[in-house]
Amino acid sequence: MNQILARPCSEVVGLLAHWLQDKFPDSAILLYGSGNSVLSKADPSEILFDFYVIVPSYRKAYGSRLMAFLNYCIPPNVFYLEEKFGDKKLRAKYAILSTAHFEKLVSKKTFHSYFWARFAQPSVIVAAPDDIRERLGQSVETAVDTFVSRAAPLVGDGASVSQIWRQGLAHSYKAELRAEQPGRVDDLLESYGNWPDRVTNLEGSSKVRPGGAWQSRLTWRLRAVQGAFLSVIRLLKGAMTFQGGVDYIAWKISRHAGFTLPVKNWERRFPILGAPFLGARYYRLKRELTLRSNHPE
């Protein structure tokens, strides 16, 4: 797994990782998300790169009991990085997890799919101390195993890797404020190339126990309920740490959901108070879009 995660990155990504390691010594830097997929196709000054910083401990990373507490209870803490690159600017958001917490969050000890579904998908270890690099590789293997074992019952015995991943991704998006447009999952799987086949071991993962299918559907519905609550809580917390956080999250939701989620000026000024209203607006617009799709004129 470490060889798969050690793919080469651009000079810009390496520079951003270097800045992050300066902020958080002895940390590992993982590149995740859209920044990973567009490295060779876009002007880096137009990309918001997406990193995870895996630190030895929260107390060492922050020196603040409050920030350490928030990161452990409502992971992850998310921050914004902006640095000059010649006459342009590079921008990134980065989330922080401790090594031990990361290992727990991607395992079967964690009910919600937020972390193990994310890290089952392609990522790159940009920089890491040798001891943490080995643990990260093992954690990604754990994330894939957790993802596959919880997605497989949705499709039943004899399902292909592609079918399992398609259902797992679709349900993990529904478990967050990340409702995707039709065809998005297929587009993602196509962009992943042979990643699912390389990392997936179906031995023992795809066998469905008697009654396992309906139990799996029920647990995924419960994850969706839990995910709605967690998304609002993360929005509240992120408003304290992420510059322009409300507009970013609204843009992120809009890009995935297929409609524009407007943000009012007072919600920008008072993001903690505005977060529940933004969440309610999202669900109203999503419901209206669903009704129009089901009952076209």
* Predicted confidence (pLDDT) per residue in 72-124, tens digit: 999 999 988 888 888 888 888 899 999 999 999 999 999 999 999 999 999 99
Look at residue 292 in the predicted model and tell me its pLDDT.
81
Please report the DSSP string for 129-145 in residue order: -HHHHHHHHHHHHHHHH
For residue 245, name the pLDDT band (cuts at 50, 70, 90): low
pLDDT at 68 over 90: yes
pLDDT score, position 162: 94
46: pLDDT strictly greater than 70: yes
**Two tokens at 286?**
């999503």
Mean pLDDT of 243-261: 71
pLDDT score at 206: 47
Reported confidence tier of residue 297, pLDDT bands at 50, 70, 90: low
Asked if 90 and 163 touch (Cβ cutoff 8 Å), the reply is no
User: Region 141-151: what's the mean pLDDT?
Assistant: 96
Go through 202-215 and write b for each residue having 16 or more CB atoms within 10 A of its CB, e for each that does not. eeebbebeeeebee
Per the structure, the complete domain to which residue 233 belongs is given by: 2-294
Are 248 and 91 in contact by the 8 Å Cβ rule? The answer is no
Query: Can you tell me the mean pLDDT for 6-11?
Result: 86
State the pLDDT confidence band at 228, using cuts at 50, 70 and 90: confident
| Structure confidence at residue 99 (pLDDT) | 97
Sorted by sequence, the CB contacts under 8 Å of residue 12 that are 6+ apart come out as 39, 44, 49, 85, 90
| 3-state secondary structure at position 107 | coil
Amino acid identity, position 165: W
Burial grade of 87 (CB within 10 A; 0-12, 13-18, 19 or more): exposed
Q: Name residue, tokens 């008697």.
A: 210
Question: What pLDDT is stored for residue 260 in this prediction?
Answer: 83
Percent of the residues in the chain that have a pLDDT greater than 70, as a whole number: 87
CATH number of the CATH domain containing 193: 3.30.460.10
Q: What is the pTM of this model?
A: 0.81
Spatial distance between the Cα atoms of 179 and 242, rounded to a whole number of angstroms: 22
pLDDT tens for each residue of 151-189? 999 998 888 999 999 999 999 998 986 656 668 888 888
Give how many domains the chain has, as a whole number.
1
Question: What is the average pLDDT score of the chain?
Answer: 86
